[in-house]
Amino acid sequence: MAWPWIFESNFEAGTNAEWDSEEDDDVNLDFPHYTTLARSSGEGPMAPFRGAYCMRVILDGGTNPCTVTEGDLDIADTVTRWSSFDFYISPLFAATADDIFVIYQLQSAGPVNESCIGLRITATTDVVEVGVGKLTASTFAAQPLQKGRWYHFDLRTVVQTGGTGTTDLYIDGVAAAAASVDTVTNVAVAQGKLGLDLHLSTTTGTLLFDNFRFDDTQVYPVKHRYEKVVRLTKNGHVFVGPGWIDSCYVRSASGTLVLHDTDVADVNHSEAVVDISTTEGSTGFEDGAYFERGCYAVVSANTEVEIRIHTGGDFHLGKFGPKAHWSPGAVRHYGQVRKAPRPNV
């Protein structure tokens, strides 16, 4: 359970701990650190959408589900809920046979799919499309997905008496596809599953998932992947690699925030740099707070914080003098500059 969302998962624990259960008989699901992703051979400079960890599914010939399940993703009759997450398809994603499969599903008791997001890949054209439906995707967006980039998906699901239930997909905040799910009528959704399911063994490649949220309102995508002001409602990485923090703001009178100098977690190679507690408000730093390894923020429950990152545009004020630095996390992900080791030839 998270706040202010009904459920939130940023995968920054590096495990499935935020979810009720995991199904992965083919051992193709994990939660890698950005340095692991950066060493992925032949798949480009992959990195989490934000922070140091994300969820990864590797398709390598198996057909078993690679999913995490959460019971808080429930929807009662006559209720509308929104699901959102960031999604990435690797450049090597491919298929030798046409395939339609799901990457997110809301299920009633049974379990039975009642609303889902799915992908369709056409072998002869290598085109990848995203769509929505009930058991599997049946209505697809007009524009295919590009490989090697992140998308933000929002799914609006209405469980409605009278046979008028619907599911609608938004891509990067824009309505993209809609389908009737009228058989949801009078059936309460009991759980949600994120990850790969109902796929063929002939589909291969890597899929990444990040920043999952479930709530009664649309989340919408961020305007910039690496923003100057980062808002957190749970523990996570503000940036990885060296950088500066300008100020912090705790939006709760009883909230606490601790910043650690590490790009792994606060328990590894950590140095607590800032500890804000007891009172609501902001704190500034005379010369900025510099983080050599990266900034990991520990947020108390039911607290929202804002953390301002230094970027190149801040320095025209001359505030930081000749030793000014800026956070690479605000303009590019540190993991993206990591390269796979050169082979010995």
pLDDT category, 329, cuts 50, 70, 90? low
Average pLDDT score over the chain: 85
- Sole residue written with tokens 């500034």: 284
- Sole residue written with tokens 């606490």: 256
pLDDT attached to residue 309: 87
Burial of 266 (0-12, 13-18, 19+ CB in 10 A): middle
Q: What percent of the chain has a predicted confidence (pLDDT) above 70?
A: 84
User: For the chain, which domains are there?
Assistant: 7-215 (2.60.120.200), 229-334 (2.60.120)
The continuous run of DSSP H or E covering 202 comes out as none
Going by the DSSP 8-state scheme, the letter that residue 224 receives in this structure is: S
Helix (H, G, I), strand (E, B) or coil at 323: helix
Higher pLDDT, 65 or 332: 65
DSSP for 9-41 reads E--TTSSSTTSSEEEETTS-EE--BHHHHHT-T
Give pLDDT tens digits for 71-101: 999 998 888 999 999 999 999 999 999 999 9
Confidence check: pLDDT of 340 > 50: no
Angle at CA of residue 154, ends 50 and 7, nearest 5°:
70
pLDDT attached to residue 313: 55
pLDDT attached to residue 222: 87
Please state the separation of Cα 290 from the chain's center in Å: 26
Whole-Å CA distances, 119 to 132, 150, 170, 196, 250: 9, 15, 14, 10, 40
pLDDT attached to residue 188: 80
Going by the DSSP 8-state scheme, the letter that residue 109 receives in this structure is: T
